[in-house]
Structure 1
Amino acid sequence: MNSIDDFNLDTRALSVFLAVLDERSVSAAAVRLGVSQSAVSHTLDRLRHTLGDPLFVKAGRGITPTRYAIQTGPHIRHLLDELRGLSLGPPFTPERAEFTFTIAANDYQRDLLLPAFARVLREQAPGIELHIIPSGIPTPDMLRKDLCDLIISPHPPPANDIMQQRLLDDRMTVFHDASQREAPLDLEDYLHSRHISIIFNTGARLGLDESLEAQGMRRDAPVTVSNFSGLPAFLRGTALLATAPARLHGGILREFAASLLPVPIKPFTLFMLWHQRHQKDPGHRWIRQQLLTIANKMDA
């Protein structure tokens, strides 16, 4: 290891190290950082000389981190988070802020909460651009690797560095076209009906179906769609049933009749999730507060 007098590190070099550590690939790290592969390789060579360790070695067609790199990674990540905290600058002023904020949310969460949030931005922080991407079943890496700034999901990933806060609760409800059929009378009627159901792009199904199968029951679903937005077009004019969050009755499923789900399924909670490095960021905190205010008004 070189002496402290020989150290010549900067935040960009350390960010390159973390990108390669996360991606296990020089080329993927270069794409993520928006630089050339040669620039990443040059920075790694400098870090190897400064830190006195190979950091990454060839493994088949790829590379693998050394033990030193794996052990040092969390310390460097923490150091960069601390340095970002030093550069937060003056107090956050919404009307003067200019940046892009990316939220990962599936269609239900997106349509429920984010139109109202976009209105808040137009009125109070017009310089903040809102970018929305699908969340699927969220993973910690979505936040760790800055693929998004915040996630809204009922599925918080189990990770110590991911912060979470409850937004609101909802429950599953049965929807049908009242011009075509009556509401299911009981569980037997519900199970013997035909359904339109959800299979997400990730291949995941509704928790309802997993719960039913665990009890030895299943629904007959001749139609499946990849998100809740697809339900109205296939439900309209048919005798199918659709089971979806109750709050959709005030949105895309407003034209359909709703009835209680004859299956004992607990309500679920929507959370907003973010990485701990943004915990004290004033702009991030302001955005989280706006989303919480919107959710609280829905519960009022």
Structure 2
Amino acid sequence: MNSIDRLNLDTRALDVFLAVLDAGSVSAAAVSLGVSQSAVSHTLDRLRQTLGDPLFVKAGRGITPTPYALRTGPHVRQILQELRNLPLGPPFAPADTHLTLTVAANDYQRDLLLPALSRVLEREAPGIELHVVPSGIPTPDRLRRDLCNLMISPHPPPASDILQQRLLDDRMVVFYDPAQRDAPADLNDYLASRHISIVFNTGERLGLDDAMAAQGIHRDAAVTVSNFSGLAAFLRGSDLLASAPARLHQGMMREFAQASLPFNHRPFSLYMLWHQRYQDDPAHRWIRSQLLDVAGRLPA
């Protein structure tokens, strides 16, 4: 078979071959394909020359496939199916997937969502390595440059190439050590107390601070830490207050009591963010669905 013959082997010719193989006659295949009988015969002649086999021979008044045609038929069906599935990408099986998934999250988002995701990956896709990095200030550039594949944030950046999916809702509450003090009775009690505040390494503060400033409220930050994990050590055994997401009570703040903020503050949502290059990737679609499922199973 020379290189010119290979060019004659197109998908339409393979469809004709299968139609004749299934119908058992040239005329019936022509009817099923909606073409003329001469067109089917001409295509079979090209295939015979290309493949170097008669494919079909006369048997009485009809035709019968050669042994080569019978052996080749299933392989041709597989080839055509794979070609038709080509726009969907390669077949995806979690257990056979090998990649490194980099997720950017702060310690609150990390501890809330990623340990459960890690257990799913260990069980169903052990070839996927989970790499967690600090989220910092969420910018489209981090996703565009592939510094991370997923980002978790309450602040989706306004960019058309960055896609988002809401994971869960949360609200800010006041944590305190019940062995040392009671919950703040009102706003005056809250403002008269000493507080632990958070200023991230990027210099970013909690959205709560901006909301309080907009209402003309100022609290006394006796201690400032750079992440949520730093709150517990300072809160334990003190009369300090820590204003933080309520879902921290499911993890690092479980030993403390919590109360509602004594002023209006809207709940917030956490989103997962990804670049559009991963929108239709089967592995990443599966990972995102698993993370969404993890978030959905969390206690309200």
TM-score with structure 1 length normalisation?
A: 0.70
Partner of 1:219: 219
Kindly provide the amino acid, as one letter, of the partner of residue 118 in structure 1: S
Partner of 1:43: none
Aligned ranges 1:78-227 → 2 under 5 Å: 89-227=89-227
Kindly provide the amino acid, as one letter, of the partner of residue 274 in structure 1: W
Partner of 2:13: none
Q: Deviations over 1:134-172 (max 9, x none)?
A: 111210001100000010111111101000000000000
Following superposition, the deviation at residue 271 of structure 1 comes to: 0.1
Does the aligned pair in 2 maintain the 1:209–1:219 contact within 8 Å? no
Does the aligned pair in 2 maintain the 1:168–1:299 contact within 8 Å? no
Q: Deviations over 1:6-65 (max 9, x none)?
A: xxxxxxxxxxxxxxxxxxxxxxxxxxxxxxxxxxxxxxxxxxxxxxxxxxxxxxxxxxxx
**Is residue 2:259 matched to residue 1:268?**
no
Runs of 4+ in 1 over 4 A off after TM superposition: 86-89
Following superposition, the deviation at residue 91 of structure 1 comes to: 1.7
Partner Cα separation in structure 2 for residue 162 and residue 106 of structure 1: 19
Greater Rg by CA:
2
Does the aligned pair in 1 maintain the 2:89–2:281 contact within 8 Å? no
Following superposition, the deviation at residue 97 of structure 1 comes to: 0.5
Q: Deviations over 1:259-287 (max 9, x none)?
A: 11112000000000000111000000000
Partner Cα separation in structure 2 for residue 289 and residue 168 of structure 1: 14
Following superposition, the deviation at residue 298 of structure 1 comes to: 1.3
Number of aligned pairs? 216
Kindly provide the amino acid, as one letter, of the partner of residue 103 in structure 2: I
Kindly provide the amino acid, as one letter, of the partner of residue 91 in structure 1: P
Partner Cα separation in structure 2 for residue 100 and residue 250 of structure 1: 28
Following superposition, the deviation at residue 88 of structure 1 comes to: 7.2
Q: Which runs of 5+ in 2 are unaligned?
A: 1-85
Q: Identical aligned pairs, as a percentage?
A: 70
Following superposition, the deviation at residue 180 of structure 1 comes to: 0.6
**Is residue 2:243 matched to residue 1:243?**
yes
Q: Which runs of 5+ in 1 are unaligned?
A: 1-85
Partner of 2:292: 292
User: Which piece of structure 1 moves more, 188-197 or 204-213?
Assistant: 204-213
Following superposition, the deviation at residue 196 of structure 1 comes to: 0.4
Following superposition, the deviation at residue 208 of structure 1 comes to: 1.2
Does the aligned pair in 2 maintain the 1:137–1:155 contact within 8 Å? no
Following superposition, the deviation at residue 214 of structure 1 comes to: 1.7
Partner Cα separation in structure 2 for residue 187 and residue 160 of structure 1: 41
